[in-house]
Chains A and B, each alone.
Chain A
Amino acid sequence: MERILLYVEDTPGMAAAVAWTLRLAKGMSCRVFALSVINPDAPLRRDTQTSDAEERAWSMLYEIEDDAFQKNARISLLFETGDSLQQLISLSTSYDAELIVASADCRLVCAELVRQSNRPVVFVK
């Protein structure tokens, strides 16, 4: 395996998904594409009303990048706007990801991701 697409969201379970993905990437010497998607049409969560969703998304990506760098894992950051599920599926094809990883508590409809993607998907809990 050479490429993993990690779907990044601001959820409590994200740290476990990041740790698992970086361990796997380091062990298999593969590259991680960390993807964050902002949907401008979606209402903001109550606890992020006053914060800037885009800035938060970038800061999560750079936190993961810094973590990966300390662990000698290769990573590239992707930031997109639009529908999360569609972007994730589309980019998994564009970057020829061999595995999609998401946190088990992500807001994506897990069953829909598995149904629509033609790549293996792992939800980390």
Chain B
Amino acid sequence: MAKISELLPRSAIVLNLQSKEKFEVISELVHPLVAAGAITEESEFVSAIARRENMESTGIGLGVAIPHARTKAVSSIVLAFGRSDSGVDFNSLDGKPSHLIFLIAAPEEQKTEYIMTLARLSKLLRKDEVRIGLNKAGSPDDVVRVIVQHES
């Protein structure tokens, strides 16, 4: 199974998210994945993400959100990462805004890989040193370096 760092293209790392609203942030993160060819049907993928976001919170607390969807609109499992200095309201249970946002896109048929990627990413992001490293990262290479350093 691929590591988190291997699923995150540098072109899909946005260190200064411009949007302030949840669905605009998601669009900002979806665009590079569409450009990379990982998401084949943008509108279908965004609809799937929106459906989940409208049903439940993907903010896991600690300033982290992991919007995710598994649909036919995705050709291979892939991640995007965005950082927001001001924070974005992802309806986290702790009531705090999310500053570190990882978007996960997975093909419909890759359920096991999708679940495991979510689990490994959630575990990784509970580590203080990972969140501190991601908040300090000055470049996409720094982001990948932090993840590589801490993922087992």
Listed in ascending order, the chain A residues whose CB lies under 8 Å from chain B are 52, 54-56, 58-59, 61-63, 65-66, 68-69, 72, 74-79
Name the residue on B nearest A33 (C-beta): B93
Q: Verify A55–B120 contact, CB threshold 8 A.
A: yes
Asked if B56 lies at the interface with its beta carbon under 8 angstroms from chain A, I say: yes
Best-surrounded residue of A54, A58, A68 (most CB of chain B within 10 A): A58
Q: Verify B119–A78 contact, CB threshold 8 A.
A: no
In whole Å, how far is B67's beta carbon from the nearest beta carbon of chain A? 13
Complex contacts, A63 vs chain B, CB 8 Å: 115
Q: Verify A77–B60 contact, CB threshold 8 A.
A: yes
Complex contacts, A58 vs chain B, CB 8 Å: 118-120, 122-123
Name the residue on B nearest A94 (C-beta): B93
> Which residues of B from 110 to 132 have beta carbons under 8 Å from A?
111, 114-116, 118-120, 122-123, 126
Of B55, B57, B60, B115, the residue contacting A59 (CB under 8 A) is B115
Asked if B83 lies at the interface with its beta carbon under 8 angstroms from chain A, I say: no
In whole Å, how far is A115's beta carbon from the nearest beta carbon of chain B? 27
Size of interface on B: residues with Cβ below 8 Å to A: 18
Asked if B99 lies at the interface with its beta carbon under 8 angstroms from chain A, I say: no
Q: Verify A66–B123 contact, CB threshold 8 A.
A: no
Of B56, B93, B116, the residue contacting A74 (CB under 8 A) is B56
> Which residues of B from 53 to 111 have beta carbons under 8 Å from A?
55-57, 60, 70, 93, 111
14 contacts between A and B (CB under 8 A): A54-B123, A56-B119, A58-B118, A58-B119, A58-B122, A61-B119, A62-B119, A63-B115, A65-B56, A69-B55, A72-B55, A74-B56, A76-B93, A77-B60
Of A56, A62, A72, the residue contacting B118 (CB under 8 A) is A62
Q: Verify A62–B123 contact, CB threshold 8 A.
A: no
Asked if B52 lies at the interface with its beta carbon under 8 angstroms from chain A, I say: yes
Q: Verify A79–B115 contact, CB threshold 8 A.
A: no
Best-surrounded residue of A54, A59, A61, A75 (most CB of chain B within 10 A): A59
Complex contacts, B118 vs chain A, CB 8 Å: 58-59, 62
Q: Verify B123–A75 contact, CB threshold 8 A.
A: no
Q: A58-B123, A75-B55 are in contact. List 14 more A-B contacts (CB 8 A).
A: A52-B152, A55-B120, A55-B123, A59-B115, A59-B118, A61-B119, A62-B118, A65-B56, A66-B70, A66-B114, A66-B115, A69-B52, A74-B56, A76-B57
Best-surrounded residue of A68, A69, A78, A79 (most CB of chain B within 10 A): A69
Name the residue on A nearest B93 (C-beta): A76
